[in-house]
Amino acid sequence: MDYAELTGRIKAVAEGETDEIALMATVACEVHHADDRFDWTGFYRVVAPELLKIGPYQGGHGCLTIPFSRGVCGAAARTGEVQLVPDVDAFPGHIACASSTRSELVLPVRNKAGEIIAVFDIDSDRPDAFTETDARELGALLDAVFA
């Protein structure tokens, strides 16, 4: 995957946009269609203390709400750390929003003040689909758009 090209394209489309939902929709769409490993790509927004609610996404239905205390998305929101999960069945407390998901990458999304406003969730129907490079490059892309 050419992350430099993807980031450039997203920054060009999003230039001047300040609405977080519009930015999330653009990022979800562009990232989802950039790589066939990505089966579900989207955001869960922080809407209340310790609570995520589904935001813009691409793919089948997602879970509507996720508490910080549950699942891979909750762990990313709770800890503020990237969750790179090669086998979701081995992750304690994994929430199976889609039975086809085999691996998952979830990144915290921070605003300019450094506050977590969402998590960016990418699921794959392939085991061990994500790399440290994916995590690093997508984290940089999210920082470029939201921070």
Q: Please give the class, per CATH, of domain 3-146.
A: alpha beta
Q: Give pLDDT, residue 113.
A: 96
Q: What percent of the chain has pLDDT over 90?
A: 88
DSSP assignment of the chain: --HHHHHHHHHHHHTT---HHHHHHHHHHHHHTT-TT-SEEEEEEEEETTEEEEEEEESS---SEEETTSHHHHHHHHH-S-EEES-GGGSTT---SSTT--EEEEEEEE-TTS-EEEEEEEEESSTT---HHHHHHHHHHHHHHH-
Domains of the chain: which residue ranges?
3-146
pLDDT per residue as tens digits for the range 102-122: 999 999 999 999 999 999 999
Instruction: Please give the average per-residue pLDDT across 44-54, as a whole number.
Output: 98
